[in-house]
A and B are shown apart, each in its own frame.
Chain A
């Protein structure tokens, strides 16, 4: 891996020159084309300057162009400027104009480590799947574990449950707070688990205990992956579902330690891609 020589003065007329003049530093961006969501991160060497998350059905090529235009306007960059872009996520190949591509998992690890340099275990809880990674100090992914096929993705599982419980994510968090032992929900198939919950509601079980039980069931699934990679401090949790405080608390209780959740847990993949774009700096 070559380290860019950031001290070298850049030629006039180039983006690097312009952004340096503006005091913004050299810029890089990363775009994560997921199944439902697209994330964009624009950064310089020190900071994230712009981050955007959007749920969309547009194709990767179109939406990346649109989001980049949007980013340039926000950062007041000249319209014709270009910055090095790396793409990740399931749709990364559609972003044909990206200079580099990197796999989603590796980007996640990279991003998490940048946010929390002490991160050694990264757990990504997504809509359709969870995965755990153990990361070395140098940022190399050592082990990874993915959820087995039949186990439901956490995001969609919880989403289904909000309908059954008839409560929002926030309401679920407050419902379950303070409950040490929830109702046991043993079925790992989302469809059957939902009917299990329904029958418990009809059985008169208090919702607070059921929600705690739902969180416990989700944590059971997450522990499968965590145990396979080994839990080492610090544990960082990423992915949109990490915003669910009730779930995070249940996880912390289970592993007996606090976890770190980024302020914006959804952009970690795109952040990692932007960091990857940095390797290619110097060309426009």
Chain B
């Protein structure tokens, strides 16, 4: 079970890498041409960024990219020499390694990250994202803006945020716009913003349609396709190009669903992937295929049904607060259980990525609930999302084989 890339079924998935390349080279070009470059954490409203003509760079994605190119851990080592503990998020270590010791890797994947003029991070998901950019801001002497947002663990039970919670989100969003206007000496174009909001909502709806189709049996696409195609949605939301990409993807998936074209010749069992994948070993997702098993769905980064508003600021706030986006333990366990049922799942792989605690802390309870309440076998795979030094081939192989045996036995499949 040596580390390898994943195989994809969709044409759009196979093309998606071009998006990644384009994103990085666009930022490098912008730097050369004197256009503003901003480092962003996921969660910043991209419609605003694109309206201001900023070339976005996503350091979190670089963590994944460097890992996929098998050089991420070298940057991590460089960061550790600077005193950053091994337990810290491996995305952060990768990027800090790149920032402080770019010489750690001879050829940085995609030319590395174009240096920022601005740093923007929302305070959601985890504490580290803010500290990370605070440190980068100090080292590179670049202004940083933090969008302070309420904890959306609060709203997932009630579903609807209260006015004071919406108020904070909206006032921070408007502050962001003001910050950008002042930093770039440019007025915010509200018309363009509204257009971009329309595009991003349509993108969201398109992605929802694709999600629904994945309930089909046999599965028209696998998690390997999904992880390859999330990039436009996470980095291009609010652009026409991203919308067109997903429209094409929808057509492709619809077509395959109608013709019952599946991932394996005979779909014998369906698995769910929960958690961040090991970017340096996406090939693991395809491993069950040799036994007729398809990784039919995954629990993260999904576009899910949510409330809407005609006011774009309210709409952004509702997108942030929507029930299904919360990473509270109960919310994630609930999501895992719903997906397991809706997508006809026979087994769940919980990717226990050691350096991302906010994201995986629910997994023990997810396993408990899935196994005890739904009788669905689960496998916890310990590794990391970007630091390949924390991967044990022997351990993963043994556990994976044992797990698949259990799943197939339960389904009455003869090997």
Given the interface pairs A187-B389, A187-B390, A188-B389, the reply to whether A195 lies near B395 with Cβ below 8 Å is yes
12 contacts between A and B (CB under 8 A): A148-B86, A186-B389, A187-B392, A188-B389, A188-B390, A192-B395, A195-B392, A195-B393, A195-B395, A198-B394, A220-B77, A228-B83
CA A186 to CA B73, docked complex, whole Å: 9
Rank and list the top 4 A-B pairs by shortest CB-CB distance, nearest first.
A192-B392, A195-B394, A227-B81, A186-B389
- Residues on A with C-beta less than 8 A from B77 are 220, 224
Summarize A's interface: helix, strand, loop or mixed: helix
Q: Is A81 in contact with chain B by the CB < 8 A criterion?
A: no
Residue of A whose beta carbon sits closest to that of B398 = A195
- Residues on A with C-beta less than 8 A from B391 are 186-187, 192
- Residues on A with C-beta less than 8 A from B392 are 187, 189, 192, 195-196
Q: Is B225 in contact with chain A by the CB < 8 A criterion?
A: no
- Residues on A with C-beta less than 8 A from B86 are 148, 150
CB distance from B94 to the nearest CB of A (A): 15
Residue of B whose beta carbon sits closest to that of A194 = B394
Which residues of A are interface residues toward B (Cβ below 8 A)? 148, 150, 186-189, 192, 195-196, 198-199, 220, 223-224, 227-228
CA A189 to CA B394, docked complex, whole Å: 13
**Would B81 and A224 count as touching, CB distance under 8 A?**
yes
- Most chain A CB inside 10 Å of its own CB: which residue of B77, B80, B392, B395: B392
In chain B between 269 and 290, which residues have their CB closer than 8 angstroms to a CB of chain A? none
- Residues on A with C-beta less than 8 A from B171 are none
In chain B between 67 and 107, which residues have their CB closer than 8 angstroms to a CB of chain A? 73, 77, 80-81, 83, 85-86
Residue of A whose beta carbon sits closest to that of B86 = A148
- Residues on A with C-beta less than 8 A from B346 are none
**Would B81 and A196 count as touching, CB distance under 8 A?**
no
Q: Is B47 in contact with chain A by the CB < 8 A criterion?
A: no
Q: Name the one of B73, B83, B390, B394 contacting A196, with C-beta atoms under 8 angstroms.
A: B394
Residue of A whose beta carbon sits closest to that of B391 = A187
Summarize B's interface: helix, strand, loop or mixed: helix
**Would A186 and B388 count as touching, CB distance under 8 A?**
yes
CA A123 to CA B14, docked complex, whole Å: 49
Given the interface pairs A150-B86, A186-B388, the reply to whether A228 lies near B81 with Cβ below 8 Å is yes
- Residues on B with C-beta less than 8 A from A199 are 393-394
Chain B interfacial residues counted at CB < 8 A? 15
- Most chain A CB inside 10 Å of its own CB: which residue of B83, B85, B389, B393: B389
Q: A148-B80, A186-B388 are in contact. List 6 more A-B contacts (CB 8 A).
A: A186-B389, A187-B389, A187-B392, A192-B394, A223-B81, A228-B83
CB distance from B83 to the nearest CB of A (A): 7
CB distance from A223 to the nearest CB of B (A): 8
- Most chain B CB inside 10 Å of its own CB: which residue of A148, A186, A189, A199: A186
CA A196 to CA B388, docked complex, whole Å: 13
Binary contact track B380-391/A, C-beta < 8 Å → 1, others 0: 000000001111
Given the interface pairs A220-B77, A224-B80, the reply to whether A148 lies near B394 with Cβ below 8 Å is no
CB distance from A145 to the nearest CB of B (A): 9
CB distance from B393 to the nearest CB of A (A): 6
Q: Name the one of B73, B85, B389, B395 contacting A148, with C-beta atoms under 8 angstroms.
A: B85
CB distance from A166 to the nearest CB of B (A): 18
CA A195 to CA B397, docked complex, whole Å: 12
Residue of A whose beta carbon sits closest to that of B3 = A186
CA A220 to CA B389, docked complex, whole Å: 12
Residue of B whose beta carbon sits closest to that of A188 = B389
Given the interface pairs A186-B73, A224-B80, A227-B81, the reply to whether A196 lies near B389 with Cβ below 8 Å is no
CB distance from A280 to the nearest CB of B (A): 38
- Residues on B with C-beta less than 8 A from A150 are 86
- Most chain A CB inside 10 Å of its own CB: which residue of B85, B390, B395: B390
CA A192 to CA B393, docked complex, whole Å: 9
CA A223 to CA B74, docked complex, whole Å: 13
CB distance from A90 to the nearest CB of B (A): 25
CB distance from B133 to the nearest CB of A (A): 24
Residue of A whose beta carbon sits closest to that of B81 = A227
Residue of A whose beta carbon sits closest to that of B394 = A195
Q: Name the one of A188, A189, A196 contacting B393, with C-beta atoms under 8 angstroms.
A: A196
CA A224 to CA B394, docked complex, whole Å: 26
CA A126 to CA B400, docked complex, whole Å: 37
CB distance from A82 to the nearest CB of B (A): 46
Binary contact track B323-353/A, C-beta < 8 Å → 1, others 0: 0000000000000000000000000000000
CA A188 to CA B73, docked complex, whole Å: 11
CA A227 to CA B389, docked complex, whole Å: 20
CA A196 to CA B77, docked complex, whole Å: 20
In chain B between 357 and 415, which residues have their CB closer than 8 angstroms to a CB of chain A? 388-395
CB distance from A193 to the nearest CB of B (A): 9
CA A199 to CA B393, docked complex, whole Å: 9
CA A196 to CA B391, docked complex, whole Å: 10
- Residues on A with C-beta less than 8 A from B388 are 186
CA A187 to CA B391, docked complex, whole Å: 7
